[in-house]
Amino acid sequence: MAVGLGNPGSEYAGTRHNAGADVVALLAARHGEKLKRGKERSLVAEARVDGKRLALAFPQTYMNDSGLAVRALVRRFDIDDLARLVIVHDELDLEPGRLQVKMGGGLAGHNGLKSIVAHLKSDEFARIRIGVGKPPRKEVGADHVLTRPGKKVREELAIVVQEAADAVEAILSEGIAPAMNRYNRLS
Protein backbone atom coordinates (compact mmCIF):
# COMPACT_ATOMS: atom_id res chain seq x y z
CA MET A 1 0.00 0.00 0.00
CA ALA A 2 1.24 3.49 -0.87
CA VAL A 3 -0.03 6.46 1.11
CA GLY A 4 0.69 9.95 -0.17
CA LEU A 5 0.64 12.60 2.51
CA GLY A 6 -0.82 16.06 2.05
CA ASN A 7 -3.70 18.26 3.06
CA PRO A 8 -7.21 17.99 1.59
CA GLY A 9 -8.86 20.85 -0.24
CA SER A 10 -8.14 22.95 -3.29
CA GLU A 11 -6.31 25.60 -1.23
CA TYR A 12 -3.49 23.08 -0.66
CA ALA A 13 -3.31 21.66 -4.18
CA GLY A 14 0.06 22.37 -5.75
CA THR A 15 1.79 23.14 -2.45
CA ARG A 16 5.07 21.50 -1.46
CA HIS A 17 3.28 19.70 1.40
CA ASN A 18 1.09 17.80 -1.08
CA ALA A 19 3.94 16.21 -3.03
CA GLY A 20 3.12 12.77 -1.57
CA ALA A 21 -0.55 13.11 -2.49
CA ASP A 22 0.49 14.11 -6.01
CA VAL A 23 2.46 10.85 -6.35
CA VAL A 24 -0.53 8.72 -5.33
CA ALA A 25 -2.83 10.62 -7.71
CA LEU A 26 -0.32 10.07 -10.52
CA LEU A 27 -0.11 6.34 -9.76
CA ALA A 28 -3.90 6.00 -9.79
CA ALA A 29 -4.13 7.82 -13.14
CA ARG A 30 -1.19 5.86 -14.57
CA HIS A 31 -3.07 2.61 -13.91
CA GLY A 32 -6.50 3.83 -15.03
CA GLU A 33 -7.94 4.24 -11.54
CA LYS A 34 -9.57 7.12 -9.67
CA LEU A 35 -9.14 7.97 -6.03
CA LYS A 36 -12.54 7.76 -4.34
CA ARG A 37 -13.70 8.62 -0.87
CA GLY A 38 -13.35 5.62 1.46
CA LYS A 39 -14.50 4.88 5.00
CA GLU A 40 -10.96 5.37 6.30
CA ARG A 41 -11.04 9.19 6.01
CA SER A 42 -9.05 8.85 2.80
CA LEU A 43 -9.34 8.92 -0.95
CA VAL A 44 -8.57 5.34 -2.02
CA ALA A 45 -7.96 3.37 -5.21
CA GLU A 46 -6.74 -0.13 -5.96
CA ALA A 47 -4.59 -0.81 -8.99
CA ARG A 48 -2.89 -3.79 -10.57
CA VAL A 49 0.81 -3.28 -11.24
CA ASP A 50 2.57 -6.17 -12.96
CA GLY A 51 -0.16 -8.48 -11.69
CA LYS A 52 0.20 -7.32 -8.07
CA ARG A 53 -2.42 -5.39 -6.13
CA LEU A 54 -1.42 -1.89 -5.08
CA ALA A 55 -3.67 0.03 -2.73
CA LEU A 56 -3.30 3.80 -3.02
CA ALA A 57 -4.50 6.37 -0.50
CA PHE A 58 -4.49 10.09 0.21
CA PRO A 59 -5.62 10.79 3.82
CA GLN A 60 -8.23 13.53 4.13
CA THR A 61 -7.40 14.21 7.78
CA TYR A 62 -4.91 17.06 7.28
CA MET A 63 -1.22 16.32 7.59
CA ASN A 64 -0.93 16.50 11.39
CA ASP A 65 -3.56 13.75 11.84
CA SER A 66 -2.40 11.43 9.03
CA GLY A 67 -1.95 8.57 11.48
CA LEU A 68 -5.71 8.33 12.09
CA ALA A 69 -6.31 7.48 8.44
CA VAL A 70 -3.18 5.36 8.01
CA ARG A 71 -4.07 3.15 11.00
CA ALA A 72 -7.56 2.55 9.51
CA LEU A 73 -6.05 1.84 6.07
CA VAL A 74 -3.56 -0.65 7.54
CA ARG A 75 -6.51 -2.49 9.11
CA ARG A 76 -8.66 -2.38 5.96
CA PHE A 77 -5.93 -3.74 3.71
CA ASP A 78 -4.74 -6.25 6.34
CA ILE A 79 -1.14 -4.96 6.38
CA ASP A 80 0.41 -7.23 9.01
CA ASP A 81 3.99 -6.38 8.00
CA LEU A 82 4.55 -2.61 7.99
CA ALA A 83 7.40 -3.10 5.50
CA ARG A 84 4.54 -3.40 2.95
CA LEU A 85 3.46 0.17 3.75
CA VAL A 86 5.05 3.00 1.75
CA ILE A 87 4.55 6.55 2.98
CA VAL A 88 5.31 9.22 0.36
CA HIS A 89 5.98 12.66 1.81
CA ASP A 90 7.65 16.04 1.38
CA GLU A 91 11.06 16.51 2.97
CA LEU A 92 12.64 19.84 3.96
CA ASP A 93 16.09 18.26 4.41
CA LEU A 94 16.37 17.36 0.72
CA GLU A 95 16.83 19.92 -2.05
CA PRO A 96 13.89 20.37 -4.45
CA GLY A 97 13.86 17.62 -7.03
CA ARG A 98 15.79 15.15 -4.86
CA LEU A 99 14.35 11.79 -3.85
CA GLN A 100 15.27 9.28 -1.17
CA VAL A 101 13.85 5.82 -0.49
CA LYS A 102 14.37 4.46 3.01
CA MET A 103 13.06 1.99 5.55
CA GLY A 104 12.19 3.30 9.00
CA GLY A 105 14.20 6.04 10.62
CA GLY A 106 13.74 9.42 12.23
CA LEU A 107 10.91 11.87 11.79
CA ALA A 108 12.91 15.05 11.04
CA GLY A 109 10.15 17.14 12.62
CA HIS A 110 7.56 15.99 10.05
CA ASN A 111 4.18 16.13 11.80
CA GLY A 112 2.52 13.70 9.39
CA LEU A 113 5.17 11.07 10.14
CA LYS A 114 4.91 11.79 13.89
CA SER A 115 1.18 11.10 13.74
CA ILE A 116 1.66 7.88 11.77
CA VAL A 117 4.32 6.56 14.17
CA ALA A 118 2.12 7.46 17.16
CA HIS A 119 -0.88 5.60 15.72
CA LEU A 120 1.01 2.57 14.39
CA LYS A 121 3.39 2.43 17.36
CA SER A 122 6.20 1.73 14.91
CA ASP A 123 8.43 3.53 12.43
CA GLU A 124 9.27 0.39 10.46
CA PHE A 125 7.55 1.34 7.22
CA ALA A 126 9.07 2.35 3.90
CA ARG A 127 9.32 6.01 2.99
CA ILE A 128 9.78 7.93 -0.18
CA ARG A 129 11.05 11.36 0.74
CA ILE A 130 10.50 14.09 -1.85
CA GLY A 131 12.82 17.05 -1.46
CA VAL A 132 11.14 20.45 -1.20
CA GLY A 133 14.14 22.28 0.29
CA LYS A 134 14.44 24.47 3.33
CA PRO A 135 12.84 27.90 3.50
CA PRO A 136 15.06 30.52 1.82
CA ARG A 137 14.94 32.91 4.77
CA LYS A 138 13.92 32.58 8.37
CA GLU A 139 10.46 31.68 7.15
CA VAL A 140 8.85 28.98 9.29
CA GLY A 141 8.93 25.50 7.72
CA ALA A 142 5.12 25.25 7.82
CA ASP A 143 4.74 28.47 5.82
CA HIS A 144 7.29 27.18 3.30
CA VAL A 145 5.56 23.84 2.66
CA LEU A 146 2.08 25.35 2.53
CA THR A 147 2.90 27.76 -0.29
CA ARG A 148 3.00 27.03 -3.99
CA PRO A 149 6.55 27.10 -5.32
CA GLY A 150 7.80 29.23 -8.19
CA LYS A 151 8.11 27.94 -11.75
CA LYS A 152 11.64 26.45 -11.44
CA VAL A 153 10.84 24.47 -8.28
CA ARG A 154 7.43 23.45 -9.71
CA GLU A 155 9.21 21.96 -12.72
CA GLU A 156 11.70 20.11 -10.48
CA LEU A 157 8.85 18.76 -8.33
CA ALA A 158 6.91 17.58 -11.40
CA ILE A 159 9.91 15.46 -12.41
CA VAL A 160 10.54 14.06 -8.93
CA VAL A 161 6.84 13.18 -8.51
CA GLN A 162 7.19 10.98 -11.63
CA GLU A 163 10.37 9.40 -10.20
CA ALA A 164 8.67 8.82 -6.85
CA ALA A 165 5.78 7.04 -8.61
CA ASP A 166 8.37 4.88 -10.40
CA ALA A 167 9.99 4.17 -7.02
CA VAL A 168 6.67 2.99 -5.54
CA GLU A 169 6.31 0.57 -8.47
CA ALA A 170 9.92 -0.59 -8.02
CA ILE A 171 9.31 -1.31 -4.32
CA LEU A 172 6.23 -3.34 -5.25
CA SER A 173 7.95 -5.35 -7.98
CA GLU A 174 11.54 -5.64 -6.69
CA GLY A 175 11.50 -4.83 -2.98
CA ILE A 176 12.83 -1.98 -0.88
CA ALA A 177 16.58 -2.72 -1.10
CA PRO A 178 16.79 -2.67 -4.93
CA ALA A 179 14.62 0.48 -4.99
CA MET A 180 16.93 2.16 -2.47
CA ASN A 181 19.97 1.20 -4.56
CA ARG A 182 18.43 2.58 -7.73
CA TYR A 183 16.81 5.81 -6.52
CA ASN A 184 19.13 6.89 -3.73
CA ARG A 185 22.05 7.08 -6.19
CA LEU A 186 20.18 9.82 -8.02
CA SER A 187 19.92 12.00 -4.89
Active site residue 144: no
**Which residue in 114, 88, 116 sits closest to 100, CA to CA?**
88
d(CA 94, CA 45): 29
Q: Pick left, alpha or beta for residue 78 (phi over 0 → left; psi -120 to 50 → alpha; otherwise beta).
A: left
**Which residue in 150, 182, 153, 155 sits closest to 167, CA to CA?**
182
Q: Which of 17, 89, 110, 144 is catalytic?
A: 17
In what side-by-side order are the strands of the sheet with 2-4? 36-37, 42-49, 52-59, 2-4, 86-91, 126-131, 99-103
**Cβ-proximal residues to 10 (8 Å cutoff; 6+ apart), any chain:** none
> Residue 172, Cα to own-chain centre: how many angstroms?
15
Catalytic residue numbers read 17
